[in-house]
Amino acid sequence: MRTRILFGGMMLLALAALLWLDHRLEQGQVRLVGAPLGAAAALLLAVGYLELSRLAGGAGLPVPGGCGLVLTLAVGLLPFWRQWLPGGVGMSENLVLITLAGAAALAFLCQMACHRTDQAIRRLAGTLLAVAYLGVLGACLLAIRVRFGVPALVLFLAGVKFADIGAYFTGCFFGRHKLIPWLSPGKTWEGLVGGLIVAAGVTMLLDWLLAGRGNLIMSIGSAGLLGLALGAAGQFGDLCESLMKRDAKVKDSGALVPRFGGVLDIMDSPLMAAPVGYLLLAVLR
């Protein structure tokens, strides 16, 4: 627990510094919104891709290195590089569809050029899994920052991660009934409920503290609803990664951070919760 608290605190400080820098640069009216976070996202996506390749390989699904990584980064960083194009920072529906279609076509082209018919379906499945899981979900996460601002991203991350924390401690002290024993033996229904309550409380508190900052304007009740939805989606994201780890027969996706595992072990909840957060922030504000 000491190691977990130590490295958890270090990651929290690093994230706070990154978000502070990102917000300060935006106040200076920089040309590209979210540049520091975009650079960090590129690094995390690259490491996450290597971890996903390891998981998929352990389950017998090869994930090509260079081509798949480039496609994943292109899709995942779409909300950022979109700003270079005419039309501002908005994610146009047509551009999203064209980018995804292009990624699918290039995946087939890379397979033909590099591997011909060798494990074609397996390699394509692995590449498109990475594009969907890391690229599309990562783009939703970055889009929260680009469209709604740093305060909204802080609210989102707090809701997701405090649900994890609340679920962990509630489950430790009060957990009796297993949630899904065959998938995640440590999770309990009591922990899930505790995590959702903590997430709702934290988002309501932060909404009150950050009221009116940037594009973040919503009622306390809406913030509580957001916290409940983010907590539920985040817990589902954790189960989704557990599903892949079970198939690959590994405990963690990597060993980047002691007691936490790899990038996917840390980002599994925010990734799956990102589409929910983006949608609700657009509707509830």
pLDDT at 91 over 60: no
162-172 mean pLDDT = 94
Pick from 130, 157, 145, 156: nearest CA to 74: 130
The pLDDT of residue 33 is 81
Place of tokens 């590129």: 42
217-233 mean pLDDT = 93
Position with higher pLDDT, 60 vs 30: 60
The pLDDT of residue 237 is 97
- The helix (run of H) or strand (run of E) holding residue 178 is strand 178-180
The pLDDT of residue 164 is 94
Model-level pTM?
Answer: 0.92
Are residues 72 and 271 in contact, defined by beta-carbon separation less than 8 angstroms?
A: no
Instruction: Describe the chain by its helix, strand, coil percentages, rounded to 5.
Output: 75, 5, 20
238-242 mean pLDDT = 96
pLDDT at 14 over 90: yes
Q: Which two structure tokens, joined as six digits, stand for 65?
A: 């290195």
Q: Give dist(CA 24, CA 146) in Å, integer.
A: 14
The pLDDT of residue 250 is 92
Position with higher pLDDT, 235 vs 91: 235
pLDDT at 90 over 60: no
SS (H, E, C) 82-145: HHHCCCCCCCCHHHHHHHHHHHHHHHHHHHHHHCCCCCHHHHHHHHHHHHHHHHHHHHHHHHHH
